[in-house]
Amino acid sequence: MKTLARGLQVRLNGNLDGIFQSTQYIDDKNRTTEFALKLDKMTCFLHLTPYKSSGRLRSKISQISQRSILPVRLICPPNMTCTTGTCNPYHVSLATRIRDIPRVTLIEGSSAFHDVYALTGECTICRTRYHPDHEAYSVPDSNQSQEVFLNTARYLKIGSSLWVDRVFSNAVLSGMYNFHASASAYAQFWNDSFNTATSSIQLSRRQVWQAFVQESIRTVATTGGIDFEADLNIAIDEVS
């Protein structure tokens, strides 16, 4: 309890003014102990103590589940307004109906989350589409569409319903360069190490290769100070 009190004290930057009464003087030396006593009284008041009043163990405290307070995750385009010269800064609208918003799987670092909403925005004036990882627009006076790979994207799409954050894609890039690992080897490594009952996802070689190519493009483009463009929806082999 003293350790918990000390941890909370550090989290609050030592500010415990709201914990003790203004008329109550607490020596700095005994501040943590007095705070721990208050926490102990609170656990007794809420009937969360595992001990009887005699001091004997009643039962162990069960684990606290955070499932009920998990956030609802949304993957959004990084731009809130249209970036074209004619529309800037016109607002970006949702490109799909609410019921049609895809629910995807998201890998953040080594954790996987299901039922994540991936949003797509659209400018209602120039019809430029804003995705979380790229922008798509029609070339004037032609039937051709282009996509711009966003260097500032926080998430990358590496499968039909699979997204990853840049921590994961950077790990793929680093692993394949530093350990000379193939896409198949890295996929097997991730599946053996992080595919748990809570995340429950199996990566394929193609998905790892997609992450490698996507992150490589943005790394080179950022270093060169450019935005990489390609024809819309071309195969990954053509992109590489």
- Average pLDDT rounded to a whole number, residues 34-40: 89
Predicted confidence band of residue 228 (pLDDT cuts 50, 70, 90): very high
pLDDT recorded at residue 197 = 55
Length of the chain: 240
Does the pLDDT value for residue 74 go beyond 60?
yes
Give the H or E element holding residue 21: none
Does the pLDDT value for residue 217 go beyond 90?
yes
Does the pLDDT value for residue 225 go beyond 90?
yes
**Separation CA 112–CA 195 (nearest Å):** 9
**Concatenated DSSP letters for 100-123?**
G--EEEEEETTEEEEEEEE--EE-
Does the pLDDT value for residue 60 go beyond 90?
no
**Separation CA 195–CA 53 (nearest Å):** 44
Higher pLDDT, 76 or 198: 76
Does the pLDDT value for residue 77 go beyond 90?
yes
Give the H or E element holding residue 63: none
**Reduced to 3 states, what is the DSSP secondary structure of residue 231?**
strand
Strands 103-108 and 162-165: parallel
**Separation CA 113–CA 107 (nearest Å):** 6
Q: What is the separation of C-alpha 33 from the centre of its chain, rounded to a whole number of angstroms?
A: 37
- Average pLDDT rounded to a whole number, residues 202-229: 95
State pTM to two decimals: 0.80
- Average pLDDT rounded to a whole number, residues 69-93: 91
Does the pLDDT value for residue 198 go beyond 60?
no
The number of beta carbons lying within 10 Å of the beta carbon of residue 85 is: 7
Q: At what angle do helices 166-178 and 205-224 cross, to 10 degrees?
A: 100
The per-type count for the chain, helices as H runs and strands as E runs, is 6, 11
Please report which residue ranges of 13-142 form alpha helices under DSSP H.
Answer: 31-45
- Average pLDDT rounded to a whole number, residues 199-207: 88
* Averaged pLDDT of the chain: 89
**Separation CA 83–CA 92 (nearest Å):** 10
Predicted confidence band of residue 25 (pLDDT cuts 50, 70, 90): low
Predicted confidence band of residue 92 (pLDDT cuts 50, 70, 90): very high
